[in-house]
Amino acid sequence: MPSPAKTTAKAAARTAGAGIGTYVVLVAQALWARKRIGTTTDRPPSGNGLYGHELAGEAVHCLLLGDSTMVGYGMRTVDETPSALIGIGLSHILDSPVHVHNQSVVGARSSDLLGQIEAAEHHRPQIAIILVGANDITHQVPAKRSARRLAAAVRRLRSMGTEVVVGSVPDFGTVKPLPVPLRTVCRYWSRHLARRQTVAAVEAGARVVSLADVLEPLFLVKGDALFGDDRFHPSAHGYATIANFLVDAAVTQWRHGSRVEDEPIEQMTLEQAADWAAEHGGTQVAPAPRGRRFAAVLRWRR
């Protein structure tokens, strides 16, 4: 009969072997998915400019920051880009002209946000909307570091007097080109980062809207129509869906700001709020009146 030490050693060896085998499978699947998703050198037309120019009053200056999802990767007309979707939506609901400046860059990570803010500082943004995190995951940036960089960007914007809305990283589990087990692992990574982003951004003074699985329920109706040709970035309908959530959060933030007691709210600890939001797309989390560090305000579509 083998000794306990030898049994433990064999078990450890089997575990290590399984871990190495799983890692090899994940790497192979990641390379396959990257090849299948592919890239394109095409860039969408710029959506920068004034929306609702026929409306009275001074224009609200809106700055868009982040990665390819905020750029509108894959879109071929201006009206399909997040810049236009957000500009039109905000001007319509606020009944005011909105000047949109999109500083987002394809491939950007959280570490690029401060540079984007610096490049757009002369536009004097009154409200900023951030979408970032997907490339942090694909480049294996630790979630804690990624969230810390996001928080630094939020604090910089807040120091400029800018209201800030952050769309947390979407659930990678909805990306069909990612096979199992890679898709399962990416779902965990993305939701873990979304939790970190929520806590960090709210503590820094932003309102966070969870994009978690906001596209997933619509698969029952729209199916693959929610994703573009690369099966990774959203389609025009997918971008419009995401923009609706961002516009809703931006309007709420613009009207209420830190006066969250004016909203229909539910209070809980910030960590509890982040956990809830990561599992419930459309949830909005904002600093609570009793303290940003320990509590948050939730508001979600029912």
| CA pair distance 233, 68, nearest whole angstrom | 8
Q: 93 with 56: CB under 8 angstroms? A: no
Sign of CA pseudo-dihedral 108, 146, 152, 91: positive
More confident: 8 or 128 = 128
Q: Which residues contact 229 (CB under 8 A, 6 or more apart)?
A: 74
| Annotated catalytic residue, options 96, 123, 192, 230 | 230
Q: In this structure, is residue 285 part of a structural domain? A: no
Q: From its phi and psi, is residue 13 left (phi > 0), alpha (psi between -120 and 50) or beta? A: alpha
Q: In this structure, is residue 26 part of a structural domain? A: no
The number of domains in the chain is: 1
Q: In this structure, is residue 112 part of a structural domain? A: yes
Per-residue confidence band for 188, with pLDDT thresholds at 50, 70 and 90: confident
More confident: 66 or 139 = 66
Average pLDDT of every residue of the chain: 78
Q: What is the pLDDT of residues 146-170, one digit of tens each?
A: 999 999 999 999 999 999 999 999 8
Q: In this structure, is residue 192 part of a structural domain? A: yes
Helix (H) or strand (E) holding 284: strand 284-287
Residue 68: active-site member: yes
Q: In this structure, is residue 268 part of a structural domain? A: no
For residue 105, the domain's CATH number is 3.40.50.1110
Question: What six digits make up the tokens of 285?
Answer: 């989390």
| Annotated catalytic residue, options 68, 111, 168, 235 | 68
Q: What is the pLDDT of residues 37-51, one digit of tens each?
A: 445 555 678 899 999
> Is the pLDDT reported for residue 66 higher than 80?
yes
> Is the pLDDT reported for residue 30 higher than 60?
no
Q: In this structure, is residue 275 part of a structural domain? A: no
Nearest CA to 266 out of 255, 277, 257 is that of 277
Q: Any bridge partners for residue 128, and if so which?
A: 63, 164
Print the domain residue range for 186: 42-263
Question: What six digits make up the tokens of 289?
Answer: 């009146």
Q: Strands, E, within 132-279: which ranges?
A: 163-167, 207-209, 266-269
| CA pair distance 8, 10, nearest whole angstrom | 5
Q: Any bridge partners for residue 161, and if so which?
A: none
| Annotated catalytic residue, options 61, 99, 101, 233 | 233
More confident: 160 or 188 = 160
Per-residue confidence band for 179, with pLDDT thresholds at 50, 70 and 90: low
Per-residue confidence band for 288, with pLDDT thresholds at 50, 70 and 90: confident
Residue 230: active-site member: yes
Q: In this structure, is residue 63 part of a structural domain? A: yes
Q: In this structure, is residue 35 part of a structural domain? A: no
